[in-house]
């Protein structure tokens, strides 16, 4: 089990290395190698997510250097939870992509970038070293820029360029903050930085570095003042990539990194530094309100879903800003439910584009539900879950966020969160109304190929099962992950206890 963190990087990285060599021999070899790698990653992540002992993280020391000296991977229950979220959606998007990518050339390049993006996300989640985290952020980001521009039409290249400009500004802010942190503490290990910060005077420079980091991660997470790139970038990518970018990418690079640094490295809590948490609360509320209202006016299938992603990220950040136990469990549950739900919705958009070749919903005459029943069913159930209707997983995640807000005495955010769940349902039903319901359909359209339907229906089943077994998932998956955040700087002590021996 000690070797698992390395395998989670090495398997997809090895696959990404092999595919460009092998796919020249036989095109399908790219898919086979990628599929084997992703299945292995999924199996390892499921094992880690359920069988890792809470409070006893895996610490893998590279080169056997003890903790503050070398690079260490530290996989605790929060990391393993994020690994599970990432690998589930990556696996089902891959199954969808097998047929969807028929429309594109260069499947070898696609799967290479796909696996590299997975390497980057897994690395960000597992690493216990700040500079190493930056390197993995860049691996994931550069592959995602390439995947957004994968179609190489003018619009896709433009979206890729815009995304790259914003993403690189964010990365450079993060790197600048890392340089300042290294200058102040002479260490890069997250646990060691946490110890140094605890002993340090809280000067204005200390908070300036935090603001630099928060701005960088907010751009990566597309919170509202920093969101302008997302509605261009996510719809321009091929559908499985849109699903991944909206489903897990912004959560891993934005929300997870932000939460890890705030709670475990800076060790702030709502009681000690309310200003930091109020800032998150305001960013979250602004994202929910503004992005939901903008989503109501969208005419493009995928662009509407992209605005919806911004508003759902707002819910997660709002919950982090509330910062009590209920809200954090809600935030983690929402990471899971939104990654499955929004991933599913983007896959249905891919299914519609695959058969109809059109994304502008004003050009649809409705009635697609009769010809594509599985896609229609998946879209509607996914929309209900993203909006937060019972009995799906999305209901429980929003319920816990709202309960947390009420418990902490934030009545206005609780009301806004409840109210905008209805707005979410409103704009998502707009697509149902224009595309899937109604009598006349477009002639000669039939249901998408079996593997695409299989990927979508599997995600629906997971959403329903997540809702049905939520009270089993809560103690076994969500509570241990939330505990990591709630314990704050105890993270450093645990990592030193396990990793300092060598």
With CB under 8 A as the contact rule, which of the stretches 104-112, 161-169, 189-197, 403-411 interacts with another protein? 161-169
**Considering the rule CB under 8 A, would residue 296 count as an interface residue with another protein?**
no
Minimum separation from the CB atom of position 193 to another protein (A): 14
**Considering the rule CB under 8 A, would residue 464 count as an interface residue with another protein?**
no
Alpha carbons 356 and 443: distance in angstroms, whole number? 10
| H-run or E-run covering 215 | helix 204-221
* 340's tokens: 């499955």
CB of 146 or CB of 492, closer to another protein? 146
Alpha carbons 371 and 123: distance in angstroms, whole number? 42
CB-based contact 79:125 (threshold 8 Å): yes
Alpha carbons 183 and 194: distance in angstroms, whole number? 15
Of 169, 279, 377, 451, the one binding another protein by CB under 8 A: 169
**Considering the rule CB under 8 A, would residue 211 count as an interface residue with another protein?**
no
Minimum separation from the CB atom of position 239 to another protein (A): 17
Do you find a cis peptide bond into 391, omega within 30 degrees of 0? yes
Of 41, 232, 263, 334, the one binding another protein by CB under 8 A: 232
Cβ-Cβ contacts under 8 Å for 249 (sequence gap 6 or more): 117, 121, 140, 144
CA dihedral of residues 481, 483, 485, 488 (deg, nearest 10): -150
* 85's tokens: 């979220």
Q: Show the site string, 179-208: x = touches another protein by CB under 8 A, - = not.
A: x--xx--x-x--------------------
**Considering the rule CB under 8 A, would residue 213 count as an interface residue with another protein?**
no
With CB under 8 A as the contact rule, which of the stretches 8-16, 145-153, 243-251, 313-321 interacts with another protein? 145-153
| H-run or E-run covering 193 | helix 190-199
Q: Tell me the backbone φ, ψ of residue 162, rounded to 5 degrees.
A: -60, -45
* Percent helix / strand / coil, the chain, rounded to 5: 80, 5, 20
| H-run or E-run covering 319 | helix 301-322
**Considering the rule CB under 8 A, would residue 353 count as an interface residue with another protein?**
no
Q: Show the site string, 256-295: x = touches another protein by CB under 8 A, - = not.
A: ----------------------------------------
Contacting another protein within 16-45 (CB under 8 A): none
Contacting another protein within 412-441 (CB under 8 A): none
**Considering the rule CB under 8 A, would residue 142 count as an interface residue with another protein?**
yes
Alpha carbons 159 and 242: distance in angstroms, whole number? 13
Of 155, 358, 360, 493, the one binding another protein by CB under 8 A: 155
CB-based contact 300:361 (threshold 8 Å): yes
DSSP state of 101: G
* 110's tokens: 């696609």
Tokens 């979410």 sit at which residue? 424
Question: How many residues at the interface with another protein, by CB under 8 A?
Answer: 37
Cβ-Cβ contacts under 8 Å for 377 (sequence gap 6 or more): 460
Of 128, 231, 267, 388, the one binding another protein by CB under 8 A: 231
CB of 32 or CB of 69, closer to another protein? 69
CB of 249 or CB of 392, closer to another protein? 249
CB of 155 or CB of 493, closer to another protein? 155
CB of 182 or CB of 206, closer to another protein? 182
Q: How far is CA 99 from the centre of its chain?
A: 24
Alpha carbons 339 and 67: distance in angstroms, whole number? 33
**Considering the rule CB under 8 A, would residue 447 count as an interface residue with another protein?**
no
With CB under 8 A as the contact rule, which of the stretches 74-82, 111-119, 177-185, 343-351 interacts with another protein? 177-185
With CB under 8 A as the contact rule, which of the stretches 156-164, 195-203, 330-338, 426-434 interacts with another protein? 156-164
Contacting another protein within 103-132 (CB under 8 A): 131
Of 165, 412, 415, 468, the one binding another protein by CB under 8 A: 165
Tokens 């009995």 sit at which residue? 391
CB-based contact 183:274 (threshold 8 Å): no
Minimum separation from the CB atom of position 109 to another protein (A): 13
Minimum separation from the CB atom of position 228 to another protein (A): 10
Alpha carbons 46 and 77: distance in angstroms, whole number? 12
* 328's tokens: 């954090």
Concatenate the DSSP letters of all residues of 370-399 into one string: HHSHHHHHHHHHHHHHHHT-TTSHHHHHHH
Alpha carbons 398 and 423: distance in angstroms, whole number? 14
CB of 56 or CB of 299, closer to another protein? 299
Q: Tell me the backbone φ, ψ of residue 389, rounded to 5 degrees.
A: -95, 140
Of 39, 176, 445, 457, the one binding another protein by CB under 8 A: 176
With CB under 8 A as the contact rule, which of the stretches 53-61, 89-97, 140-148, 312-320 interacts with another protein? 140-148
**Considering the rule CB under 8 A, would residue 160 count as an interface residue with another protein?**
yes
Of 1, 6, 50, 152, the one binding another protein by CB under 8 A: 152
With CB under 8 A as the contact rule, which of the stretches 23-31, 43-51, 157-165, 218-226 interacts with another protein? 157-165
Q: Apex CA 446: angle with CA 237 and CA 439, to 5°? A: 105
With CB under 8 A as the contact rule, which of the stretches 155-163, 326-334, 389-397, 462-470 interacts with another protein? 155-163
**Contact positions vs another protein (CB under 8 A):** 131, 135, 138, 142, 145-146, 149, 152-155, 157-162, 164-165, 168-169, 172, 175-176, 179, 182-183, 186, 188, 231-232, 236, 297-300, 303
């Amino acid at each position: 089990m000690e070797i698992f963190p390395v395998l989670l990087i090495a398997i997809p990285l090895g696959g990404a290395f092999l595919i460009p060599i092998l796919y020249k021999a036989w095109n399908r070899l790219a898919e086979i190698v990628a599929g084997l790698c992703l299945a292995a990653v999924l199996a390892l992540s499921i094992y880690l997510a359920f069988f890792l002992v809470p409070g006893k993280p895996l610490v893998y020391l590279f080169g056997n250097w003890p903790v503050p000296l070398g690079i260490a991977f530290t996989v605790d229950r929060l990391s393993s939870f994020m690994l599970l979220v990432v690998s589930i959606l990556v696996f089902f998007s891959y199954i969808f992509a097998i047929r969807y990518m028929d429309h594109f050339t260069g499947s070898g390049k696609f799967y290479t970038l796909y696996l590299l993006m997975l390497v980057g996300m897994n690395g960000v989640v597992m690493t216990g070293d700040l500079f190493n985290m930056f390197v993995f952020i860049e691996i994931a980001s550069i592959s995602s820029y390439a995947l957004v521009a994968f179609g190489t039409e003018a619009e896709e290249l433009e979206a890729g360029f815009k995304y790259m400009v914003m993403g690189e500004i964010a990365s450079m802010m993060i790197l600048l903050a890392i340089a300042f942190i290294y200058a102040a503490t002479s260490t890069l290990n997250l646990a060691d930085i946490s110890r140094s910060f605890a002993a340090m005077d809280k000067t204005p420079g200390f908070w300036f570095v935090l603001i630099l980091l928060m701005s960088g991660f907010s751009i990566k997470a597309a919170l509202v003042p920093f969101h302008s790139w997302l509605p261009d970038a996510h719809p321009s990518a091929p559908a499985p990539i849109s699903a991944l970018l909206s489903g897990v990418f912004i959560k891993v690079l934005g929300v997870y990194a932000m939460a890890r640094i705030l709670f475990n490295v800076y060790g702030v809590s709502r009681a000690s530094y309310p200003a930091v948490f109020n800032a998150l609360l305001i960013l979250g509320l602004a994202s929910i309100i503004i992005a939901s209202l903008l989503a109501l006016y969208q005419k493009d299938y995928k662009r509407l879903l992209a605005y919806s992603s911004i508003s759902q990220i707002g819910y997660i950040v709002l919950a982090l800003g509330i910062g009590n136990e209920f809200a954090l469990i809600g935030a983690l549950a929402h990471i899971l439910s939104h990654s499955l739900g929004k991933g599913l919705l983007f896959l249905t958009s891919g299914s519609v584009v695959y058969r109809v070749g059109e994304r502008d919903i004003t050009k649809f005459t409705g009635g697609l539900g009769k010809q594509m029943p599985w896609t229609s069913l998946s879209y509607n159930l996914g929309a209900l879950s993203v909006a937060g209707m019972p009995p799906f997983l999305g209901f429980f995640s929003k319920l816990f966020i709202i309960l947390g807000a009420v418990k902490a005495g934030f009545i206005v955010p609780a009301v806004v969160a409840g109210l905008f769940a209805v707005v979410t349902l409103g704009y998502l039903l707009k697509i149902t109304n224009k595309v899937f319901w109604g009598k006349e359909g477009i002639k000669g359209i039939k249901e998408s190929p079996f593997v695409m339907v299989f990927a979508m229906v599997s995600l629906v089943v997971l959403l329903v099962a997540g809702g049905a077994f939520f009270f089993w998932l809560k103690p076994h998956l969500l509570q241990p992950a939330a505990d990591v955040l709630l314990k704050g700087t105890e993270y450093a002590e645990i990592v030193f206890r396990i990793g300092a021996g060598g």
